[in-house]
Amino acid sequence: MAENPEGDVRTALAGERTNFAKFRTSLALDRTTLAWIRTALTFASFGFGMVGFFRSMEQATHSAQVVRLHQAAIHMGIALVIIGMVSTILVAFSHWMTLHRLRRGEELSVTQWPLTITIALLTAVLGLYALWSMSDP
């Protein structure tokens, strides 16, 4: 006796579960994107704060070393703001592409070069630059 797939309750439940799974995946993607946005804002805020802190130090003390530190802080601050902006743009693009794949029913896969590694490398390069710029000429 063959079962009718359209009349099978299990088929309807499987469809509902698939829709709920897509919805949960979409919500998880939103949470991840919001975490990236918070991280990017933190990068930018820290960059602005660093420039402001060393600017106030320069205004209070007019030594050559403080002026050099302020210049290095400006470069670091600008780099942090740029990293924040770049990561925001990249995560928005990644979010959009993943949602697009999810809605089309395509298989989702982890990229070979994740955004986390990209931002970590940019931050490491920024740290090396900061050490180099604060060293004595």
Report pLDDT for 114.
Answer: 81
Tell me which of 49 and 129 has the higher pLDDT.
Answer: 49
pTM over 0.85: no
Domain residue limits, the chain: 29-134
Distances (CA, A) of 59 to 41, 49, 50, 131: 27, 15, 14, 23
- Kindly state the average pLDDT of the residues 38-47: 92
> Is 13's pLDDT higher than 70?
no
